[in-house]
Structures are given as structure tokens and as C-alpha cells.
Amino acid sequence: MHHPRKFAKANSRKKELNNGYAYKFSLAVSMVNELTEFVKMERACCGFFRFDLSISGDKKEV
């Protein structure tokens, strides 16, 4: 199970937006996989959340 606290510890940057939050994580294949799984689980129970996942061109952040 994916726990938000795990992502909070791995989080490199957090920014508050008008409609939520933006997070940046250091890029690692395991982090990309875990974030993808987290989004899938959250969408299954809470379809009203919006998730945008992008990988920067320099391949250092997600």
C-alpha cells in the first residue's frame, strides 16, 4: 500500500496552488512506479481528484 507520508519524506519540493498543491520529486524509476500506483489507487476511490504527472526533460524530477 502506498502511503502519502512516504511521498512527503521523498518530496523535494512542495508548492501551494490556487486549486491544490504541486510536488516535485527526484527522478528514480521506483518513484515513478510508486507515484503511478498511488494515482491509480486514488482514482479508484476518489475520482474527483485531479492528478498531472510529468517527467522533466532533464530527467532529474517528476
Q: Is residue 61 part of a domain?
A: no
pTM for the model stands at 0.67
Domain count, the chain: 1
User: Domain span at residue 8?
Assistant: 4-45
Q: Is residue 26 part of a domain?
A: yes
- pLDDT tens per residue across span 4-47: 666 666 656 788 999 888 888 877 778 888 888 888 988 898 88
Q: Is residue 52 part of a domain?
A: no
Q: Is residue 29 part of a domain?
A: yes
Answer whether 62's CB lies under 8 Å from 31's CB: yes
* pLDDT of the residue at 14: 82
Q: Is residue 17 part of a domain?
A: yes
